[in-house]
Amino acid sequence: MIWDVHTHLAGSGEKTPEESIARLIVAADRMGIDRLVVFMGDPWSYDPSPADLTRQNDQVLKALDHWHHRAFGFVYVSVNHVEASLREIDRCVRDGPMVGLKLWVAGRCDSPEADALVLHAQGLKALVFQHTWIKAQGNLPGESTPMDLATLASRHPEASLVCGHVGGQWELGVRAVRSASNVAVDLGGVDATAGIVEAAVRELGAERVLYGSDAPGRSFATQLAKVHGADISEADRRLVLGENLRRLLRPILQAKGIEA
């Protein structure tokens, strides 16, 4: 069973959300991937307005329309527009089919503005996915690091959080979130560097490591290869490839009556 915690609609080369997700599913089938988590629309913006958040979430809702048996949606929100983001969470998660939140680079996640979003997500049992990077040349002004996420996690120990990209520089990323037991790491969107999975499993435990791809910007193949090629036990590989994500999503899926 393979569940991918990190895919997008933008970058597929297709024109509509429906076509984009169909393209993703065709390639996912080739690679044996059962379920995709999809978030954000097309085009992207670093600091989306409330209207842009709604537009992109609408695209994901359209994409999910015929693929509820293969894909889950996370609602795109921003710490720069808390009230609008709370409305989007209600529209797309509480009253809609989505099962998690996605925060990108509009503002850093250790800001107080993130608290209301995380608390609302927690109340709905939704998973919170935060993009993180530690870039050698410096992050974008609103781009979070794994250290920022660890700070946020310490304020919300009952929330379920995902550290996107393991922070890019994964040796640092796993260290930064090591003590935050409510944070899992997403392996996606980082080159297929040998050792990444072994390090994450060693430092965090296999239960906190999630396969993700960041497709279509990334290849399912290169990102899966990290896990398939890792020197870990088969039991740990199954956890990383899909069992962990299913466990993390189970509370909200059960609350929504979704079998998976």
Partner 1 sequence: MIDVNVSLSRYPFRRLPCDEPEALVARLRGLGVTEAWAGSFDALLHRDLAAVNARTAETCRRHGDGLLRPFGAVDPTLPDWREELRRCQEVHAMPGVRLHPGYHGYGLDVPAFAELLDEAGGRGLVVQIAVRMEDERTLHPLLKALPRTDPAPLIPLLARPSQPRVVLLNALRTVSGEPLRRLLAAGEVWVDVGMLEGLEGIKRLVAQVGIDRLLLGSHAPFYVPEAAHLQLKESALSAAQAEALTRGNARRILPAP
Residues found near partner 1 in the complex (CB under 8 A): 11-13, 23-24, 27, 30-31, 133, 135-137, 168-169, 171, 190-195, 198, 215-222, 224-226, 228-231
Smallest distance from the beta carbon of 158 to partner 1, in angstroms?
33
Q: Which residues have CB under 8 Å from 231's CB, separation 6+?
A: 198
* Spatial distance between the Cα atoms of 43 and 2, rounded to a whole number of angstroms: 28
Smallest distance from the beta carbon of 26 to partner 1, in angstroms?
9
Q: Which is nearer to partner 1, 22 or 116 (CB)?
A: 22
CA–CA distances in Å: residue 179 to residues 71, 102, 129, 149, 157:
31, 22, 18, 12, 11
Q: Which is nearer to partner 1, 77 or 177 (CB)?
A: 177
Smallest distance from the beta carbon of 178 to partner 1, in angstroms?
18
Smallest distance from the beta carbon of 202 to partner 1, in angstroms?
12
* Spatial distance between the Cα atoms of 170 and 203, rounded to a whole number of angstroms: 11
Q: Which is nearer to partner 1, 134 or 161 (CB)?
A: 134
Q: Which residues have CB under 8 Å from 72's CB, separation 6+?
A: 35, 36, 37, 38, 64, 97, 98, 99, 100, 249
Whether residue 146 is preceded by a cis peptide bond, meaning omega within 30 degrees of 0, is no
Q: Which is nearer to partner 1, 142 or 168 (CB)?
A: 168
Half-sphere exposure of 95 (CA within 13 A, CB side): 6
Smallest distance from the beta carbon of 251 to partner 1, in angstroms?
31
Selection from 164, 221, 169, 204 nearest residue 37 by Cα: 164
